[in-house]
Structure 1
């Protein structure tokens, strides 16, 4: 007795379902553990400057049980960076600092700077991922407050990194002065851009050989434009997760802020007011514990070598 052939619609539905399952297995079970170091070079420093190897880390969203992530982060100390730039969202759980200590303690003694993302202050909450296509996410439930003071004490007092939340700081690196300014999470409108000119002025006189670098968690256009106006010679950002779930051969679908999608991860140039400067947006290392997936967007840290420009900014 011959079998009737399957209806084409059922065959197509089955194929789509199989592809969906395979993608879920890859994104949840494999790719989110495929940690990678992206290396890039940008001419951003004053003419005559020696190269500067910057390890840019962002969006760890650390939970205490994430041992593979902690071990990989700790191993990055072997890269021997000159400087760490941490663009926030370090915590992903109320007890995330324990895991963060295991991850970051090998960096003690390496100069660094940091800013906050919202998940350095508030714990993660469940969200419908489809809402990201409607625009930047909003908080609809009362968040859990995290121990930000303990996080800052670890980063500042134990690791020696400079807090750039709505302020500026100078960092000494082998007798070399580097100037930084930054803002707290612009996604939550915690940024105070008007505080920055005074903060930069309080750093004192700067000569032509002193770099000025901007650091933000969320790379909103208002922040990038103001940083450019203030004379930043390069900008570091995070927050976007590079889209987290991307389309192969297409790229980022959502950025969770108003940055152009083509600049939501990696090294690009930000142009405003007649100036064009390097912008590095990290695709980040982690994810919310409520969205444990990465697809076509591997978790990353960036080893960015800043070199001297041929001409002044």
Structure 2
């Protein structure tokens, strides 16, 4: 988010009309040292709803000018080029003040519409700040949903969530590839995730869902998307059924839920 992006701020604020039960913010909110008020203004209407969040690389560091071609090279995954440090602590304080939960290396139970959701998150794996061992272990088996969040969908983190028995992991970071070729898909994911999963829902292992949002952003130095429109994702989790029968009231969400 840049301070002057008023239309984007209004669009995000209008998402509250969708009446989500839970708002999940997977990071990369900032791109400018003065963007915190703009982000808080955009998210303001949503902040009266239950919310969880983590941060991404562009919350910690501003983007820098760089050759876009480098993202197509293998070395792009190894060499990080950071800009100035950004005021992520101010954004964190504003989110917490309004009742959202920071899940940076935290696991807890969040109540949503009378149901308990076991949630956990890691710091940004793209910056290698993830410390999954701090949240490792099986989540509450009685929870209606076991939900993990990460900014960058790195396979090492997804495997850890799956091995611990999470039902669903939500991520961002990829911009859906940002540049997509019709019939081919994303050129890159800017992480170790395969291109076929650059956006949308997919299975990860035998029981876990992964959803990667293409998000709203671009770098201010490469403000272009092709065949990959910006998006905010509204997911509907459907209770697991047994042999096509209607779900019972206490059925746990997620393990065989449809993610739409």
Same fold per TM (> 0.5)? yes
Query: 2:228 & 2:80 partners in 1: Cα distance?
Result: 25
Contact 1:162 1:169 (8 Å CA) reproduced: no
Pick the aligned partner of 2:231 from 296, 300, 303. 300
The residue matched to 1:145 in structure 2 has which SS? coil
2:80 aligns with 139
The residue matched to 1:307 in structure 2 has which SS? coil
Query: 1:76 & 1:101 partners in 2: Cα distance?
Result: 14
Is structure 2 residue 227 aligned with structure 1 residue 286?
A: no
Is structure 2 residue 162 aligned with structure 1 residue 231?
A: no
Cα displacement string for residues 141-186 of structure 1 (whole angstroms, at most 9, x for unaligned residues): x53111111010111112x111111121221123321110111110
For structure 1, the residue ranges without an aligned partner over 5 or more in a row are 1-61
CA drift of 1:262 comes to 0.5
1:241 aligns with 175
Query: 2:126 & 2:66 partners in 1: Cα distance?
Result: 16
Cα displacement string for residues 263-313 of structure 1 (whole angstroms, at most 9, x for unaligned residues): 110111111xxx232111000111111111111000001100011122574
181-190 or 240-249: bigger deviation: 240-249
**Cα distance 1:209–1:114, how it changes in 2: closer, same or farther (>3 A)?**
closer
Query: 1:196 & 1:108 partners in 2: Cα distance?
Result: 25
Query: 2:80 & 2:191 partners in 1: Cα distance?
Result: 14
Cα displacement string for residues 98-136 of structure 1 (whole angstroms, at most 9, x for unaligned residues): 211221001122001111101111111112111111134
Query: 1:131 & 1:290 partners in 2: Cα distance?
Result: 14
Query: 2:104 & 2:143 partners in 1: Cα distance?
Result: 24
For structure 2, the residue ranges without an aligned partner over 5 or more in a row are 243-251, 256-260
Pick the aligned partner of 1:106 from 33, 45, 53. 45
Is structure 2 residue 190 aligned with structure 1 residue 256?
A: yes
| Max Rg structure | 1
The residue matched to 2:191 in structure 1 has which SS? coil
Cα displacement string for residues 21-56 of structure 1 (whole angstroms, at most 9, x for unaligned residues): xxxxxxxxxxxxxxxxxxxxxxxxxxxxxxxxxxxx
Cα displacement string for residues 65-115 of structure 1 (whole angstroms, at most 9, x for unaligned residues): 111111110110000000001110010111111211221001122001111
Q: TM-score, normalised by structure 2?
A: 0.88
Q: TM-score, normalised by structure 1?
A: 0.74
Is structure 2 residue 145 aligned with structure 1 residue 211?
A: yes
Report the structure, 1 or 2, having the larger strand content: 1
The residue matched to 1:123 in structure 2 has which SS? coil
Query: 2:92 & 2:8 partners in 1: Cα distance?
Result: 21
Query: 2:66 & 2:107 partners in 1: Cα distance?
Result: 34
